[in-house]
Amino acid sequence: MKYLLVALSMIVSMCLFMFKRAFENNLVTHEVKLNNQKKYNPVNMLFISDIHRRSVSEKWLMSLPETDIAVIGGDITEKGVSYEKVRKNAALIASNKKTYFVFGNNDEEVDKTLLTDILENEGITVLENESVKCHLNEGLVIAGVGDINYQKDDIKKTMADIHDEDVILLSHDPRITKKLNQITNASNIKLILSGHTHGGQIRFFGFGPYQKGRMERKPQYAHLISNGFGTTLLPLRLGAKSEVHLIRIV
């Protein structure tokens, strides 16, 4: 009986620890040089992905360094989350800055038309297999591809209007890199921003269902895969801390 109580106590303590970790606010900073042949005005970008059921802290968000652009990398919601919570989160993220959004697999499972209306009413540009010019730098484009899991991704359409521009590609699912061979202008892509994996969310002894979030530096591009801000299924994290990213682009 004694050993059972000790075991139960350890399990409860571990669950409380993982619950606390799931609601942390962690900022990770990166610097990315897009093109050695071009000089850009520096851009400070906020990247947040996989909010799911979490509420963004206004106090914490306002304490972060000022940014020029925000990117929401999908899964801003999921089934059962109120649209008012989505609106509040979107409004906080988009406050006083140009903001872009791409759909994730959980966004596909709610009323997508209503979700789009909410985001656009907050001044957020929704990108689904399309691209827009970055207002801060001529020759720089922000492109967003649809969700892979629901076969909404069309990388050819997304990149169709890209010629000599450098591209920041938004894709909720990091597996978009496996489809870059479908396009002839893949070399234009200099930075890819993804989430979806939650870094495995719960990792024991360094092992989890997915790799931890990371910045991968490839010869042609950099690929940031975020652990994400929220959680799925259970509000627990272990070995894969929640993340929001500040990216300085030069």
Separation between Cα atoms, residue 130 and residue 244, nearest integer Å: 24
pTM of the entire predicted model = 0.95
What is the percent of the chain with per-residue pLDDT over 70, rounded to a whole number? 98
Domain ranges, ordered by start, for the chain: 23-249
Give the pLDDT of residue 35.
86
Which segments of the chain have a pLDDT < 50?
none
Q: pLDDT, tens digit, for every residue of 26-78?
A: 999 999 999 888 888 899 999 999 999 999 999 999 999 999 999 999 999 99
> Can you identify the CATH homologous superfamily of domain 23-249?
Metallo-dependent phosphatases (3.60.21.10)
Alpha carbon 250 to its chain's center: 20
